[in-house]
Structure 1
């Protein structure tokens, strides 16, 4: 099934949470000079036109990144600074709105140091073609194919440290189980790696398959962050979740402060929570 296109959802509240976590983890890891191998298992097309037909059809960015951008001067956490610096490159001509939004490989590319290789996987033919065109000038390595299988094949990396983002669309219900089983295999190959796993919080509770599998599995030290819409739809996605395996020391407090900046009707209209899904 390859019907999902992220262009309809780029810059929504889930992207804000996901890319805030990715940016914070990566910048915290860069406090040390040793190289970091970066992998993005479901890369999409890397950059999304927020003025285009697909984005405007849902207008999800209006209640997500556009709202945060307008409120940026009032955020309390200084950890938003790297994210806002990247977003400045995507402003409209008059500078009052974001004209485009970077996908996860673009976030990694914008932050990567010279010795940090970035590998982006994408299975969808149209998305992978666009990803290749974008990557030609960035140094990002693109592989067309199953990102979970490709990531496992690349482990352990030559670099001493590892950062991976796993964020399938979960349009295939077995993705929840597949992600859990893939993490177990990856953990055996590279136990020191930091892995971020995004998942949708559904009205049906389907995400419990993933969470319950991980709680019962061998991987330790998994932090769970969730944001839930204060006015959710009657059906479908009512929130967004991030799992961080082996988070850097202090990440939980710093990320909690970032998510607190999104709470309330004057911001993104959501409520945030954090707990250890699996302790150390």
Structure 2
């Protein structure tokens, strides 16, 4: 859907959950010496200016990353994620100079929010590679301007179709993030079909699927549809922090379905989700769900 621009929603509560989970999975992937490929089917622009006109239209980041930014009581996994976003907000180095380092106790102003490709790049090692799909031409150009390099390919194509050519990768180790806008109801079916094909081609891959919690039956059914095609273990986490309006419109929360999750992820989320719900809640009925089928 070319009309969708993530800049309007950057740093909101859904980004917090998505990128905290992504950060934890990336830490697990990079704990082993073997290189891996990061594949992003809907990469966006890679980074967002929170003071820009699009982000300021609804300023959704104020109820997301902004609530965590300067808190001294963050659980370890939340602190790790916030630290990454703070790194992204450090000034760019002068030509020929090393990148600045976030010193202990330092909290830069919150001006930028990293997209998923930037989260992945902050973890990437010299042997790792990235494949970034983005259909919107403007966002694809932005990605190409900031993510060029021998190990990174920015592909201005539909990520649903493009994933077929990426799995299995060489070497056979990859993390795939699938997070379309879901503005078209057909996206839900495309997610299931794409994941079914990818898992058949590459059953050992780690797949992270994001979805919105909205008043649409397809959104509610998506996790169960993904459970049915997971060959080994899976983990599902959902966070509800806002109320829809009187007509049922609005983003109440979001969820992530992880196929072949790190064995550490369930315990980590059990420790941080109560904190996240308390801090990000916009109404008294805020809640979370974690369910898992171990491998």
Same-fold status (TM-score > 0.5) = yes
How many angstroms does 1:183 deviate by? Answer: 0.7
Worse overlay, 134-143 or 194-203: 134-143
Aligned residue pair count: 275
2:154 aligned partner: 142
For residues 115-144 of structure 1, give each alpha carbon's deviation from its aligned partner in whole angstroms, at most 9, with x where no partner exists. Answer: 110111000111111111111379532011
| Aligned-partner Cα distance in 2 for 1:91–1:218 | 37
Tell me what 2:78 maps to: 80
For residue 106 of structure 1, give the secondary structure of its aligned residue in structure 2: helix
SS of residue paired to 1:7? helix
C-alpha displacement of 1:198? 0.1
Distance 1:119 1:83, change over 3 A: same
Q: How far apart are residue 196 of structure 1 and its match?
A: 0.2
Secondary structure of the structure 2 residue equivalent to 1:198: strand
Runs of at least 5 residues in structure 1 that lack an aligned partner in the other structure = none
Who is 1:223 aligned against? 235
Partners in 1 of 2:227 and 2:79 — Cα distance?
Answer: 34
Alpha carbons of structure 1 residues 175 and 230: separation in structure 2 relative to 1, 3 Å = closer
Aligned equivalents of 1:95, 1:193: Cα separation in 2:
36
Alignment of 1:20-169 (within 5 A): 20-71=20-71, 73-76=72-75, 78-91=76-89, 95=107, 97-136=109-148, 140-169=152-181
Match of 1:247 among 250, 258, 261: 261
Relative to structure 1, the CA distance from residue 178 to residue 206 in structure 2 (aligned partners, 3 Å threshold; closer, same or farther) is same
In the alignment, the residues of structure 2 paired with residue 10 and residue 80 of structure 1 have an alpha-carbon distance, to the nearest angstrom, of: 17
Relative to structure 2, which stretch is displaced further, 10-19 or 148-157? 148-157
Q: TM-score, normalised by structure 1?
A: 0.91
The question of whether the paired residues in 2 share the 8 Å contact of 1:11 and 1:61 is answered with yes
- For residues 161 and 103 of structure 1, the distance between their equivalents in structure 2, rounded to whole angstroms, comes to 22
Q: Distance in 2 between matches of 1:230 and 1:46?
A: 26
- Alpha-carbon RMSD across the aligned residues, in angstroms, is 2.1
